[in-house]
Amino acid sequence: MSFYRGMTCENVTINGDKGTPITAYVAKPSGPGPFPGVVLVHHLPGWSEFYIETTRRFAHHGYLAICANLYERAGEGNPDDVAAKVRADGGIPDAQMVGDTEAAVKWMRAQPGHNGKVGVFGSCSGGRHAFIYACQKKDVDACAELWGGRVVMGKEELNAKTPVAPIDMTKDLCCPLIGIFGNDDRAPSPEQVNQHEAELKKHGKTHEFYRYDGAGHGIWYWHRPLYRVEQAMDGWSKVLAFFGKHLAK
Amino acid sequence: MCTSIIEIAAAEGMAKRGDEWFPLSTAVVAYDHARHAPLGDVITLDFINADLEPGARAGIELTLESAKELRAALDRAIAAAEFEGAEVRGKGAVPGLVRAA
């Protein structure tokens, strides 16, 4: 095998929440496998190029990877415009995200080259969503939450779309969790990250949190001024090691 | 930041995308990390029509300082417009002509 693995990428249609068909971008490493799987939950800026590229990056590292378009119901168009439309509508319901992500997990488990292990990954709102998913469902084996904002929520922030603060779901977390955070972030703030970790400890949940100095939100966003190369590369190594440990068979 | 700082207002008017103008339904003001401007956190203004496709959107990302200057300019213009409407055009004019103006 050559040093750089080949891969096949395509869009597939999966049956999302309540049976609604949604599009997902998938990347499959070349070779018979078996490969572990990663389900990516995109961030507030939408089904963006960063997420599509990150899907391919996981495949490059030997993972079957899928990233569903959670904003598909808002219509077709540039993902950036679609995300703006979703924002104008107050975001998507957490429950709908769970249904859509469950469809992506099922797609993964149906792949012939899959090793039976699935990790869920997300950053920003996707980090929050990945954590929610790992608390509400039992079909993932590891969870990576990157700077998930609004895991800690005040009662005044709760509404019909986000009825329960994720931190209050901690007791139901079904798998090991890795957290990547920047100490200059304000959402989540370092204090909120501490609250998040305290709740994990209280319920005896396996987790590893990494807090980076000199970094705020969106540490891995290579196309943004938020990018922090040293912290990003260290964080990538931590996440790949974590998935390597928990998703191996 | 991954904030929930979002303000949504009804908007009546039109906005331009490319060579085309489209009618507006909604204005959204948010404060979050920039998606396009080479900046950290920004005030985002989106003028959209929720009944059209997602591309019916005029989006702007501004620094907080620029947003404050815009707000002040809006306040000045609105105050002047209201004075113009009430004190100048309104006084002594025939009601029908006021509406026409």
A45, A84, A128: residue with CB nearest B48: A84
For residues A145-166, give the mean pLDDT: 95
DSSP state of A5: P
- From CA A226, how far away is CA A42, in angstroms rounded? 17
Residue A83 has pLDDT above 60, yes or no: yes
Q: Chain A residues with CB inside 8 Å of B2's CB?
A: 43-44, 124-125, 127-128, 147-150, 187-188, 217
Residue A1 has pLDDT above 60, yes or no: no
- From CA A70, how far away is CA A120, in angstroms rounded? 14
- Report yes or no on A225 lying in a domain: yes
* Residue-level length of chain A: 249
Q: Cβ A217–B33 below 8 Å, yes or no?
A: yes
Could you tell me what percent of chain B has a pLDDT over 90?
Answer: 65
For residues A135-140, give the mean pLDDT: 98
Per-residue pLDDT, A218: 93
Q: Answer whether A118's CB lies under 8 Å from A88's CB.
A: no
Could you tell me what percent of chain B has a pLDDT over 70?
Answer: 84
Per-residue pLDDT, B98: 47
- Report yes or no on A45 lying in a domain: yes
Closest chain A residue by Cα to residue B46 = A84
Per-residue pLDDT, B91: 61
- Report yes or no on A158 lying in a domain: yes
The more confidently predicted of residues B4 and B7 is B7
Q: Cβ B2–A74 below 8 Å, yes or no?
A: no
Q: Cβ A77–B50 below 8 Å, yes or no?
A: no
Per-residue pLDDT, A249: 83
Q: Cβ B46–A124 below 8 Å, yes or no?
A: no
Q: Cβ A85–B50 below 8 Å, yes or no?
A: yes
- Report yes or no on A2 lying in a domain: no
- Report yes or no on A1 lying in a domain: no
Q: Answer whether A80's CB lies under 8 Å from A51's CB.
A: no
Per-residue pLDDT, A42: 98
- Report yes or no on A170 lying in a domain: yes
Q: Chain A residues with CB inside 8 Å of B32's CB?
A: 44
Instruction: Count the domains in chain A.
Output: 1
Alpha-carbon gap: A19 to the closest alpha carbon of chain B (Å): 23
For A4-47, write each residue's pLDDT tens digit. Answer: 889 999 999 999 999 999 999 999 999 999 999 999 999 999 99
SS3 call for A180? strand
SS3 call for A239? helix
**Domain assignment of residue A226, given as a range:** 7-246
- A190 close contact with B: CB closer than 8 A: no
- Report yes or no on A184 lying in a domain: yes
- A150 close contact with B: CB closer than 8 A: yes
Own/partner pairs, A221-226, CB within 8 angstroms, 24+ separation: A221/A50, A222/A50, A223/A49, A223/A50, A224/B33, A224/B34, A225/B34, A225/B38, A225/B39, A225/B40, A226/B33, A226/B40
Q: Chain A residues with CB inside 8 Å of B30's CB?
A: 87
Q: Quote the tokens at residue B92.
A: 């002594």
Number of CB pairs < 8 Å for A and B? 79
**CATH number of the domain bearing residue A151:** 3.40.50.1820
Which parts of chain A fold into alpha helices (H)?
Answer: 49-60, 79-88, 94-109, 125-136, 190-202, 229-246
Q: Chain B residues with CB inside 8 Å of A185's CB?
A: 1
Q: Answer whether A118's CB lies under 8 Å from A247's CB.
A: yes
Rg (CA), chain A: 17
For A121-131, write each residue's pLDDT tens digit. Answer: 999 999 999 99
Provide the pLDDT confidence category of residue A165 given band limits of 50, 70 and 90: very high
For A187-243, write each residue's pLDDT tens digit. Answer: 999 999 999 999 999 999 999 999 999 999 999 999 899 999 999 999 999 999 999
For B42-90, write each residue's pLDDT tens digit. Answer: 999 999 999 999 999 999 999 999 999 999 999 999 999 998 877 776 6
Per-residue pLDDT, B101: 42
- From CA B41, how far away is CA A216, in angstroms rounded? 11
Among candidate residues A226, A31, A201, the one with its CA nearest the CA of residue A114 = A31
B4, B53, B54: residue with CB nearest A150: B4
Per-residue pLDDT, B4: 77
Beta strand ranges found along A113-174 (DSSP E): 114-123, 142-146
Alpha-carbon gap: B31 to the closest alpha carbon of chain A (Å): 12
The more confidently predicted of residues B95 and A173 is A173
3-state secondary structure chain B: CCCCCEEEEECCCEEEECCEEEECCEEEEEEEECCCCCCCEEEEEEEECCCCCCCCEEEEEECHHHHHHHHHHHHHHHHHHHHHHHHHHCCCCCHHHHHHC
